[in-house]
Amino acid sequence: MNAASEAPRRNASRLVLGGLGLLFGGGLGYLVGRLIKTGVIDASRLGWSDNLAVVIAACLIAMGLIIGLASFSRKAVGRMIDRTGAQLATPAQASFYREQAVVMFLAGILMAAPVVTTASFEAIPMVVASIIMLAILAIFLIQTVYNLTVWHRSDELIRRVTSETGAVCFWVLQGLLFLWAAAEKLGLAPPLTAWDIMTVLMGTYLVVASIMSARRGLS
């Protein structure tokens, strides 16, 4: 396949992905809007990190759903592996992508659950908080199993990208965390919660992972 015939295919794939993203984003936006309007969710109880967490969660859930659905088509997976789509993916490759989709989807659920719960109750009853926490723990364990499975099935390129992402995130975030902690100690910056730090970490991880993947030709 030459470059001239490859370009329209690539544009078509981008259009389909963009369309699916818009559909998901629009649907989610409408749903959240309705919930706020009907008073089910009180957005005023949410801080900046809650809003950021919801955006990250929505991205993860959308990516998980799109990749998960696409993984049932060996042709679509073949196109994700190689943009020219010259070859069908093997069943093993398709299941690998499905496992990655599960990891992303569950990560999105994990990030959204505490925020949605906070927004739904003025004061969260202990029973509800305990049930949500148990559910989070269960999902976290399942996600960890899938995460380890993906790591085990990855080849050295994906493991290298994962390791590099972890290293960059550590060096960037530990520096920033130190500076913030110092400023906070000196009374120059407001205190951060564990949720604030976790949200920034997840957001940074996603951005760095995208950059690292692109550098290695994985995007």
Partner 1 sequence: MKNRLKILRAERNWSQADLADRLEVSRQTVNAIETGKYDPSLPLAFRIGRLFEQPIETIFDDEAA
Residue numbers of the site for partner 1 (CB under 8 A)? 81-82, 86-87, 93, 155-158, 160, 215-218
- Shortest Å distance, C-beta 150 to partner 1: 12
- Shortest Å distance, C-beta 86 to partner 1: 8
- Shortest Å distance, C-beta 26 to partner 1: 32
- Cβ nearer to partner 1, comparing 87 with 174: 87
* 55 half-sphere exposure, CB direction, 13 A CA radius: 12
Question: What distance in Å separates the CA atoms of residue 181 and residue 187, rounded to the nearest whole number?
Answer: 10
Contact 119, 43 (CB under 8 A): yes
Question: What distance in Å separates the CA atoms of residue 61 and residue 106, rounded to the nearest whole number?
Answer: 7
What are the helix and strand counts (H, E) for the chain? 7, 0
- Shortest Å distance, C-beta 217 to partner 1: 4
